[in-house]
Amino acid sequence: MVPKRLFFTKGVGKHKERLTSFELALRDAGIAAQNLVRVSSIFPPQAKLIPRKEGLTYLSPGEVVFAVVAENSTREPHRLVASSIGVAIPTDRNMYGYLSEHHSFGETEEQAGEYAEELAAEMLATTLDVDFDPDKSWDEKKEIYRISNKIVRTANVTQSAIGDKRGLWTTVIAAAILIFE
């Protein structure tokens, strides 16, 4: 059971009930009709990252789907929430990569996304024995990873939202959906 494909998706939902706001975020992400099983964060060897639109065509209602999911909620008016999935894919496609989940308050979509991407890249770099200084900036580390020729790609999918001004629950999700076909 090794996934052959993955796709990223994200969504936001608002409702007076927390569970319903989560459901609406899943609907926005296009994955509400599936039974999600949360898994940890390995990007499988030789897996292909595909566009969301293509990935959704592989899903059926009621299907059990494995996913790496980040979620966050608030009902505090005007509070900034974010959820992000980062990925780091090794140059050697026979090697596994990493996915990371991050959820935060007060970070912009860009900040949360870069943080999740950096987490995944650091996990992969330590596995590949890439020498780096963890105190360096993300831009400096990206350059080291690029020069090492061991990490081919990093990316993220991030959803942020501002808490509803009337105090409704606001939920954000970001997910990597694993496809076995």
Question: How far apart are alpha carbons 1 and 24 in whole angstroms?
Answer: 30
Q: What is the pLDDT of residue 41?
A: 92
Q: What is the pLDDT of residue 134?
A: 73
Question: How far apart are alpha carbons 95 and 46 in whole angstroms?
Answer: 8
Residue 120, class by beta-carbon neighbours within 10 Å (0-12 exposed, 13-18 middle, 19+ buried)? buried
Q: What is the pLDDT of residue 40?
A: 93
Residue 143 amino acid letter = E
Q: What is the pLDDT of residue 147?
A: 62
The domain spans of the chain are 5-179
The CATH number of the domain covering residues in 5-179: 3.50.20.10
Q: Which residues does the chain have with pLDDT short of 70?
A: 147
Q: What is the pLDDT of residue 149?
A: 79
- The whole-model pTM stands at 0.92
Q: What is the pLDDT of residue 18?
A: 97
